[in-house]
Amino acid sequence: MEEQQVEPAPAAVKARRNAFDRDAVAEHSKALKMKDVTFQNDIRFLTGLGEFDRVLGGGLVQGSVVLISGEPGIGKSTLLLQICQNVGKNAKLLYVTGEESLEQIKLRAVRVGVDTENLLLLSETSVNKIIPEINAVQPDVVIIDSIQTLFDENYPSSPGTITQVKQATLQLIAKAKEDRISILIVGHVNKDGAIAGPKVLEHMVDAVLYFEGEKQNTYRVIRAVKNRYGSTNEIGMFAMSAEGLEEIEKPSE
Ligand SMILES: Nc1ncnc2c1ncn2[C@@H]1O[C@H](COP(=O)(O)OP(=O)(O)OP(=O)(O)O)[C@@H](O)[C@H]1O
Ligand SMILES: [Mg+2]
């Protein structure tokens, strides 16, 4: 076999290599020394439901994205509306509904005793219209009810498909991290698989909570199956009533 001759690098190439300067390279990502990375202590909003705060690891972390999954009718909208009362004392909230009218939300709010001035309601399913409204309103906390109703106008598929559910979530996550907004996303658990389930989002978000219970009885349990800001050993217990979810304190051991 004939040996291949390697040409020596021309002088111009050598000069370029020597002059290699990290700053001169266009658009590259720069690594930081770990010791130069700064962080603020997590700012957390207390939701007023101690059971929920405990499962979150001590309240809702500013800038975090939390997915709340549960079967239809289990009480997801009720839970998220109820936390608005306490969070609204120190923060501005935007509740985006894609499946209920504003009147329905208001009726539920009246029933469960939510009347904070700091809660704004938006009925919208296009994520391309929701993001500009988030920019205009500048809320601290956004509630998305539910992710399966949202769609991105740049993709032709219907709401609820894997593409749409993922694209909408990606945009919301980017917004949360950019502006340090906490976003709570409702995901319907669907057994027949026709609609993209919240499972496909679990790796993308910061925390995943399952809200469960038997519809026949009033008890509801919330537990974290993933949490970048706390443990996944806690569970929260509630009872559903006409006035909404009431916390059940754990019996003392
Ligand atoms: N007047 C009431 N009295 C008692 N419980 C009620 C009343 N109205 C609603 N509920 C309870 O609230 C549940 C519905 O709560 P909610 O709408 O928050 O659930 P969800 O998980 O958001 O449902 P969906 O899948 O429809 O979005 C009902 O299944 C029922 O248990
Ligand atoms: Mg609901």
Please indicate, yes or no, if residue 26 is contained in any of the structural domains.
no
Instruction: Give the other-Cβ count within 10 Å of 112's Cβ.
Output: 18
pLDDT single digits (tens) 110-138: 999 999 999 999 999 999 999 999 999 99
Of residues 188 and 197, more confidently modeled: 188
pLDDT-based confidence at residue 20 (cuts at 50, 70, 90): low
Of 167-181, 191-205, 213-227, the least confident: 191-205
Q: Which residues have any ligand 1 atom within 6 Å of their CB?
A: 70, 72-78, 188, 240-242
Total count of domains within the chain: 1
Please indicate, yes or no, if residue 253 is contained in any of the structural domains.
no
- Cα→Cα distances 174→11, 13, 43, 197, Å: 45, 40, 19, 21
Residue 243 domain boundaries: 40-247
Please indicate, yes or no, if residue 58 is contained in any of the structural domains.
yes
Ligand 1: nearest atom to the Cα of 74: 21
Domain at 144, CATH number: 3.40.50.300
Buried b (16+ CB within 10 A) or exposed e, 138-174: ebbbbbbbbbbbbbbeeeeeebbbeebbbbbbebbbe
74: CA distance to ligand 1 center in Å?
6
The pTM (predicted TM-score) of the whole model is 0.87
- Predicted pLDDT of residue 26: 64
Please indicate, yes or no, if residue 35 is contained in any of the structural domains.
no
Please indicate, yes or no, if residue 34 is contained in any of the structural domains.
no
- Predicted pLDDT of residue 249: 79
- Predicted pLDDT of residue 42: 84
Q: Please determine, for residue 56, whether its predicted confidence score (pLDDT) is greater than 70.
A: yes
* CA–CA gap between residue 249 and residue 252 (Å, rounded): 9
